[in-house]
Amino acid sequence: MPKTEYLQGALDLLVLKTLALAPNHGWGIQQRIRQVSRDALSVSQGSLYPALHRLEAAGLLASEMAPSENNRKARIYRLTAAGRRRLNTEAADWEQFSLAIRRLLQLA
Amino acid sequence: MFAAMLTRLRALLQRRRVARELDAELGFHLEMEIQSNVERGMSPAEARSAALRDFGGIVQTKEAIRDVRTTTVESIWLDVRHAWRSWRARPGFGLIAAGMLGLGIGVTTAMFTLVDALILRPAPFHEPEQLASVYMGSDHGGRTTVAPAVLRAWRESPAFAGAESAQADTAILDVDGRVVTRGIAWVTPGLFDLLGNVTPLAGRLFDPFDGRAGSDDRVLLSEDVWRRLYNADQAIVGRRVSIDGERLTVVGILPADFRFPAWNTVIWRPISFDAPPPAQSGDRPAVYVRFSGNMPRTDALRLATDASRAADAENAGLRPWVRPVAGMVLDAYYQRAVPLLAGGAVLVFLVLCANVCSLLLARFTARRREFGMRAAIGASRGRLMRQAFIEGSLLGALGVIVGAGVGWALVSIARAFLPEVLLLRTLNPLNVDVRALGVTSASGLVATLAAGLLPAWIGARVNAGDSLRVIDRGGTETRGARAVTRGLLVVEMALGCTLLVGATLLVRSFIKLAGAERGLDTSGVITATMSLPSSAFPTPQARAAVARPLEEQVRQLPGVQRVAWSYGLPPGGGAFSVGDWTSDAPGAPVVNMVVERYNVGPEFFALYGIPLLRGRSFQPSDTREDVVVGERLALALWPNLDPLGRTFTFLHARFHVIGLAREIHHPSLDATLDRPEFYHRFAGVGSYAMLSIRCDRACPDPALVRQRLTATHPAVHVVEVRALDDAYFEQLARPRAAAALAFAFAAIAVLAAAGGLFSVLSYAVGRRRREFGIRSALGASPVQIRRVVLRDGLGVALIGATLGSFAALILARSLASLQYGVTVSDPLSWAVVVGVLALTTIAASWRPARQAMRLDPVLLLREE
């Protein structure tokens, strides 16, 4: 399993997409990304939490302290309307970008 | 106020809450990770350590989150708080640095305020650089005013945009029976237009016909006179006042800051040099001109020369000499001394700035470590640089505040203690120069910021882990820090040495000047100068009739031993003659020189203790052609002969030498003031009379003498009464002030350099504890270790002093005009400089060296 250094844009996209499904806490987001990508993508806490706080400061996420499944208080993040709009544009951009890369690779 | 407190409280609580929530959030993550590890079958302990390992740096993550969350304003506030805390941790360091910076800023600002007010700021007239006073002169140094016809010719000439006359004099005012003297000037009516920017506070200026017969009883008063003597009488314009015994009509009041042509001129009377009718016969104009901007000066002066020769045949061998008005308010001494002292202030400023830099850099390694540590736990370089910037700015701001205070205090002191004569000459109030304060503050800030940012830059550049390790183990100073701090110290030492050389030369000059041989006994002598107006005393008989009671009045004062009339008093002399002096010695050359001439009464030589070396003193039968010569004149005219009985000629007059007197000297920085002299017999009191009084132990108060003289005859105007020692002392006042100021500058610079050396060496010893420990463990004796530190300090001092000496040798050339009896190669001065520098260096290095020497190697190595 290759260790991947993510572009910041890619990390933002992953976080936004994960939260688009359901509000979640940091650990949940991390687990979810790992599961969905079948262990191909692993986000370290050192990158994840600064990214969450940055996105929140930018108004793309909202958060509150709420009890979680094991009854401990956790910070639950959810997508805001602005976050949803950003997700749409970023997803479209990513599609275009990866399509371009794929074409290039097939050509070569 | 309450609302503001509430906001701050809320911000504080919120910050706490954010921190708490962040802890909870990360704690929760860790908890979940452990739980999931346990579910995968790890033991609780294993699960925990695996989770912690996975998590990586919690502190780093927190720092990164904090970076993301805090706004710029918040983080700047945090940096300010951090700077404040680190200053509080070592307040002494910050205070010393800010104090030195402030001292530098203050001294430099005050000095430039003075230079600007006294020299740089032009006279407050329209285009003052085009204004000049013009007189005729030969190439030998003779100077003369022009005839009225020349003034008229210059007015018509295209050489000048205008030509007018202003002649300063002293007037006696009678204000309701109270008699006072004030400076007056006779001016042509067009003078005010020539100067420009002159507007009367009340009334009008002179009109073009004022000063002609019938309209010459007009007068302009200064606001100063109007307020002080006439109680700001609103109805004074049009009234008559009594000046010099005449009733004159006041036509206007001029602002107090208008003073022309002399600094003390406060009354103006019109005079006309129009032809016809000729004005007061015998009066000659003192000409001021305005050059026109569109003609080169050389062309204008050539035209003026031609015009002057066409108008007056006497000017055949002469040409116009020009003195700019902008610089006329200061005499030559101040013009030379003030810029030099200002240069000294700049050097002091540089020393203090370098000192602040070296103090900041002495902590280079410690700061570097701190910055490296913070870089290691995730602070970005921009963040570190910003923090250093804020720290430097705070220090600089503190320095600027101190500097403004010091500058203000120094200018206030100057305002209170500078002689009034000098202050009035500025024509402007003396206030702290904001531009100078701005420039020095900006330079000081740049210096502190540069010294503050360097450690942050290097600290953030080094790989975080590396910097921690290298510095901890290295145990010596880093090479870069060493080079920079030693370089700054060398600069400080060099500048300090330069200032010290300059100050020593000035102090030595002053001492030589004070102790210089005067050739006469000045203590216990009072001199009085009087003017006998020709209106009251028209004939020699009338003057002789008042001279007798004047002399008697003085003789009756207790303690008076001898009284002598004369024309000419030491040290200023009387009349001097310039030209060719021809001796009767066979083959003797014609000597062109300036010679002082005294007319002296019978007791003059005895009174002043001037011995007659050959021949005799005057007898009543002697004529004006019988003279006593001084030694220098005798040596110039008859280099190898006995002057007694010989003759010499000057301007067709032949003089016969009856005696040879010991030379009297006029010790002054201006060597041309010390002239050779000869004496005539005093034939009688003229319109200007001088009285010398020799007293024994208890001299009468000069004020008493003045009172007796004034009481003798109401028309006698006493110009000045003073102790002769005071007259000589005045000659010393300015060199003394210059020497004191230079000494203060040098003291500040040398002490600052010594302080810098001390702190840098102490710091270096602290850094090199390990190295010294190893050295002494390897067998170095304490003396050897002390030598290492002393060599460090002495090396810096030696290089600095060498560079400074070279700078001083260059500087000394411009200082030459302020020196008296001392040259830059004066061995005593250099001995003083070398001695002072060596002592300060050793004193500054001694304690750090002893600290190094007393380190216990065993203890040190155990510390590791």
Q: pLDDT per residue over B45-78, tens digit each?
A: 888 888 888 777 777 777 777 776 666 667 777 7
Given a cut of 50, is residue B408 above it in pLDDT?
Answer: yes
Please confirm whether the linkage preceding B714 is cis (ω < 30° from 0). Answer: no
Confidence band for A84, pLDDT divided at 50, 70 and 90 = very high
Buried b (16+ CB within 10 A) or exposed e, B473-489: eebebbeebbebbbbbb
Residues 39-58 of A with CB under 8 A from B: 44-46, 49-50, 53-54, 57
Mapped onto helix, strand or coil, the DSSP state of residue B475 is coil
Question: Does pTM top 0.90 for this prediction?
Answer: no
Residue B627, strand partner residues: B657
Cβ-Cβ contacts under 8 Å, A33 against chain B: none
CATH of the domain at A98: 1.10.10.10
Q: Residue A27 and residue B28: Cβ atoms within 8 Å?
A: yes
| Secondary structure element (H or E) that encloses residue B447, with its range | helix B434-461
Q: Any idea which of B295-299, B370-374, B571-575, B628-632 has the lowest mean pLDDT?
A: B370-374
Chain B nearest CA to A19, separation (Å): 17
Distance CA B476, CA B463 (A): 19
pLDDT 10s digits, B718-768: 878 888 888 887 777 778 878 888 888 888 888 888 888 888 888 788 777
**Contact yes or no for B187/B251 (Cβ under 8 A):** no
Structure tokens at B518: 């005067």
A101 Cβ contact partners less than 8 Å away, ≥ 6 residues apart: none
Q: Residue B25 and residue A75: Cβ atoms within 8 Å?
A: yes
Say if A3 falls within a structural domain: no
Per-residue confidence (pLDDT) for residue B4, from 0 to 100: 56
Q: Environment class of residue A28 by beta-carbon count within 10 Å: exposed (0-12), middle (13-18) or buried (19+)?
A: buried
Mapped onto helix, strand or coil, the DSSP state of residue B758 is helix
DSSP of B235-293 = T-TT-EEEETTEEEEEEEEE-TT---SSTTEEEEEE----SSSP-STT----EEEEE-T
Distance CA B664, CA B517 (A): 8
Per-residue confidence (pLDDT) for residue B468, from 0 to 100: 46
Distance CA B399, CA B72 (A): 26
DSSP of B511-555 = HHHHT---SS--TTEEEEEEE--TTT--SHHHHHHHHHHHHHHHH
Distance CA B375, CA B466 (A): 11
Please confirm whether the linkage preceding B261 is cis (ω < 30° from 0). Answer: yes
Could you give the percent of chain B with pLDDT greater than 90?
Answer: 17
Per-residue confidence (pLDDT) for residue B163, from 0 to 100: 92
Per-residue confidence (pLDDT) for residue B357, from 0 to 100: 81
Per-residue confidence (pLDDT) for residue B336, from 0 to 100: 76
Per-residue confidence (pLDDT) for residue B98, from 0 to 100: 85
pLDDT 10s digits, B332-363: 677 777 778 888 888 888 888 888 887 777 76
**Contact yes or no for A60/A16 (Cβ under 8 A):** yes
Q: Any idea which of B123-127, B289-293, B296-300, B793-797 has the lowest mean pLDDT?
A: B123-127
Nearest to B146 by CA among B337, B320, B16, B382: B320
Given a cut of 60, is residue B241 above it in pLDDT?
Answer: yes
Q: Residue B65 and residue A53: Cβ atoms within 8 Å?
A: yes
* Closest chain B residue to A72, measured at CA: B28
Q: In what order do the strands lie in the sheet with A73-79?
A: A24-25, A73-79, A61-67
| CA A52 from centroid of its chain's CA atoms | 9
Given a cut of 70, is residue B625 above it in pLDDT?
Answer: yes
Q: What beta strand segments (E) does B103-238 contain?
A: 131-137, 143-144, 160-175, 178-187, 202-203, 218-222
Mapped onto helix, strand or coil, the DSSP state of residue B301 is helix
Given a cut of 60, is residue A2 above it in pLDDT?
Answer: no
**Mean pLDDT over all residues of chain A?**
83
Q: Residue B29 and residue A45: Cβ atoms within 8 Å?
A: yes
Buried b (16+ CB within 10 A) or exposed e, B148-176: bbbbbbbbebebbbbbbbbbbeebbbeee
Say if A67 falls within a structural domain: yes
Per-residue confidence (pLDDT) for residue A1, from 0 to 100: 33
Given a cut of 60, is residue B279 above it in pLDDT?
Answer: no
What is the number of structural domains in chain A? 1
Say if A59 falls within a structural domain: yes
**Mean pLDDT over all residues of chain B?**
82
**Contact yes or no for B505/B822 (Cβ under 8 A):** yes
**Contact yes or no for B229/B173 (Cβ under 8 A):** yes
Distance CA B447, CA B351 (A): 11
The Cα-based distances of B424 to B6, B113, B118, B254, B428 in angstroms read: 56, 15, 10, 16, 8
Domain residues for the domain of A101 are 8-107
Query: Does residue A74 sit at the B interface (CB-CB below 8 Å)?
Result: yes
Q: Which of A24, A31, A45, A77 to mutate to test the interface with B (most CBs of B within 10 A)?
A: A45
Nearest to B64 among A26, A50, A72 (CB): A50
Per-residue confidence (pLDDT) for residue B214, from 0 to 100: 79
Across the range B449-460, mean pLDDT stands at: 72
Structure tokens at B316: 């055949």
Given a cut of 70, is residue B818 above it in pLDDT?
Answer: yes
Cβ-Cβ contacts under 8 Å, B64 against chain A: 46, 49-50
Nearest to A47 by CA among A79, A9, A18, A11: A11
Confidence band for B465, pLDDT divided at 50, 70 and 90 = very low
Across the range B427-452, mean pLDDT stands at: 78
Per-residue confidence (pLDDT) for residue B474, from 0 to 100: 44
Cβ-Cβ contacts under 8 Å, A68 against chain B: 28
Distance CA B416, CA B414 (A): 5
CB atoms within 10 A of CB A10: 15
Say if A103 falls within a structural domain: yes
Mapped onto helix, strand or coil, the DSSP state of residue B660 is strand
Say if A2 falls within a structural domain: no
Cβ-Cβ contacts under 8 Å, A53 against chain B: 65, 68-69
Distance CA B782, CA B543 (A): 88
CB atoms within 10 A of CB B126: 14
Given a cut of 60, is residue B142 above it in pLDDT?
Answer: no
pLDDT 10s digits, B670-708: 777 788 999 999 988 887 789 999 998 788 888 888 888
Per-residue confidence (pLDDT) for residue A9, from 0 to 100: 67
φ and ψ at residue B205, rounded to 5 degrees:
-85, -175
Per-residue confidence (pLDDT) for residue B799, from 0 to 100: 93
Which residue's entry shows tokens 């061995």? B827
Which residue's entry shows tokens 């191909």? A40
Q: Any idea which of B28-37, B166-175, B303-312, B729-738 has the lowest mean pLDDT?
A: B729-738
Per-residue confidence (pLDDT) for residue B687, from 0 to 100: 78
Confidence band for B253, pLDDT divided at 50, 70 and 90 = very high
Question: Which range has the top average pLDDT, A1-10, B57-66, B833-842?
Answer: B833-842
Cβ-Cβ contacts under 8 Å, B54 against chain A: 45
Say if A1 falls within a structural domain: no
Mapped onto helix, strand or coil, the DSSP state of residue B614 is strand
Q: Residue B28 and residue A46: Cβ atoms within 8 Å?
A: no
Please state the ipTM of this predicted complex.
Answer: 0.83
Mapped onto helix, strand or coil, the DSSP state of residue B780 is coil
Across the range B94-104, mean pLDDT stands at: 84
Across the range B827-834, mean pLDDT stands at: 89
Say which DSSP state B314 is in. G
Q: What beta strand segments (E) does chain A contain?
A: 24-25, 61-67, 73-79
* Closest chain B residue to A75, measured at CA: B25
Given a cut of 80, is residue B492 above it in pLDDT?
Answer: yes
Torsion, Cα B561 B566 B572 B577, to 10 degrees, reads -150
Domain spans, chain B: 2-69, 128-324, 332-515+731-863, 533-715
Nearest to B61 by CA among A90, A51, A39, A78: A51
Structure tokens at B550: 């004047």
Chain B nearest CA to A49, separation (Å): 7
Distance CA B144, CA B150 (A): 12
| CA B396 from centroid of its chain's CA atoms | 26
Distance CA B256, CA B264 (A): 11
